[in-house]
Amino acid sequence: MKNRKPRNKVKENVRLLDIAAEGKCVARIDEKVYFVEGGVPGDLVDILLEKDKKSYAEARVYRMKEPSPDRQEAFCSHFGVCGGCKWQNLDYNKQLELKTKQVKDAFERIGKIKEGNWHPIVASSKTTYYRNKLEYTFSDQRWLDESDMDRENRPDLNGLGFHIPKRFDKILDVKECFLQPEPSNSIRLWTKAYAEKHKLSFFNLRAQTGMLRNLMIRTTASGELMVLFLISENHPDELKAMLTAMKEAFPQITSLQTILNQKRNDVYSDLKARVFSGTDVVMEVMENLKFRVGPTSFYQTNADQALVLYQLVDKLAGIRENDLVYDLYTGTGTIAQFLARKAGFVVGIEYVEAAVEDARVNADLNGLKNTLFFAGDMAKVLNEKFVEENGVPDVLITDPPRAGMHPDVVESILKMRPQRIVYVSCNPATQARDLALMTEVYEVKEIQPVDMFPHTHHVENVALLELRKD
């Protein structure tokens, strides 16, 4: 680093010992815990203090002294600036080891759970180009790097890419991304070049002005391709010209749509999409099931690994032909429909009404007559009256958001007492917290981590619970 060493803020020769939440590393200096950004376990570094509290401190790597044997060269030119793929500089096998440790630590420290059969983490079959969906943001105030600062003239400020961490108003102009297969990169680069050539306005987050706001690209395993533009200002002629040119440049696009979003936030699930060309949905296929995916539909972004995950849920659930199954936080009903092929009946509950509509449509598409989907707040829907009307489940599947389950939901489950529970979680900490509330009644039998997002600290975990035998 070229800057002079900040006084009293640099700690020298610090060994990074372990991994913590959000992918930060842990170090100890004089019995105080330091959470360090930008390193990997085993690194010997100088660190720069950013926040110094009584019980802990936060810092970032200031200077590398001795790299960890698990450190590797990042493959993306945007690494360290972009907020994604923060573990690119860490050997993949080490990533899997640390993700497993993350789950075990949560179960032991938060859940006080020491029982259960632990299975090795399931690695992702792809570590690059594994996503089927990416969303990019337009900005007329892109992030400026050192090369921009060296320019004699004022650089172009338009950007199309991802938000800079902790600088939501700044966008990294992405040259190449390794998350989604082609033509994702080509479409993004073409879009920016066209917009600049024809002087289309890029969005300004603070002023809430500009025509082009977001670009969403979906790809499917079958080769279908959806492109969605979110615009903040409606200029029909300019928009039509751009979309016509895009269709000519990328004839493989099967669904080209737009949404007018003039809200102060980026949530667009409640807004209506307009089809410019092609279909209003693309089709995803898993085993013998088909799923209609629209511009606002939720679908697992790592489809290959999602299939592995659902197969694991199916195996652990041990569904019998007459079983009644509840699928909580069902989303668009993908897991529910997987299980409905074996079960007597499946009841799905989901907060988002649009997702429930997708679930119903997909169930009809797959000829599944033994499913029923409800929309509403889980803590309010799942009550004694609901169970009386729909039956006590033999098997319960729950796949809540990162916040985990509401205590009222846990209480309702304990009252129902299904024989088996399969708990799917994207946050081992909240999963362990919820399981701790259930271990007097249920025994944790199987624990299966799954890597859905390589080069990130995120890990999916599946736990099988069975009623204790008194």
Q: Tokens 């650089």 label which residue?
A: 155
Burial bucket for residue 445 (CB in 10 Å: 0-12, 13-18, 19+): middle
What distance in Å separates the CA atoms of residue 202 and residue 174, rounded to the nearest whole number? Answer: 15
Distance CA 179, CA 165 (A): 18
User: Residue 146: which residues within 8 A CB-CB, separation 6 or more?
Assistant: none
Helices (H), 283-404: 303-317, 334-340, 353-365, 378-381, 384-390
What CA–CA distance (Å, rounded) separates 265 from 237?
A: 25
The rounded distance, in Å, linking the Cα atoms of 175 and 103 is: 35
Contact 319, 359 (CB under 8 A): no
Kind and range of the H or E run holding 108: helix 92-109
Kindly provide the residue ranges of all beta strands, DSSP E only, lying in 105-211, ordered along the sequence. Answer: 117-118, 133-139, 159-164, 167-173
CA dist., res. 12 & res. 45, Å (int)? 7
DSSP per-residue string spanning 404-439? ---HHHHHHHHHH--SEEEEEES-HHHHHHHHHTTT
Report the 10 Å Cβ neighbour count for 321.
7
Active-site option among 76, 85, 177, 426 = 426
Asked if the bond preceding 183 is cis, omega within 30° of 0, the reply is yes
d(CA 351, CA 373): 11
Amino acid at 232: S
Place of tokens 């002629």: 237
Measure CA 178 to chain center: 16
Show the DSSP H helices in 110-213 as ranges: 146-149, 184-197
Close Cβ partners of 316 (under 8 Å, ≥ 6 residues apart): 422, 446, 448, 462, 464
Strands 159-164 and 167-173 come out as: antiparallel
| In the block, residue with structure tokens 């699930």 | 269
Task: Give the Cβ contact number of residue 248 at 10 Å.
Answer: 8
Indicate if 426 belongs to the active site: yes
Nearest to 231 by CA among 201, 261, 275: 261
Residues labelled catalytic: 426
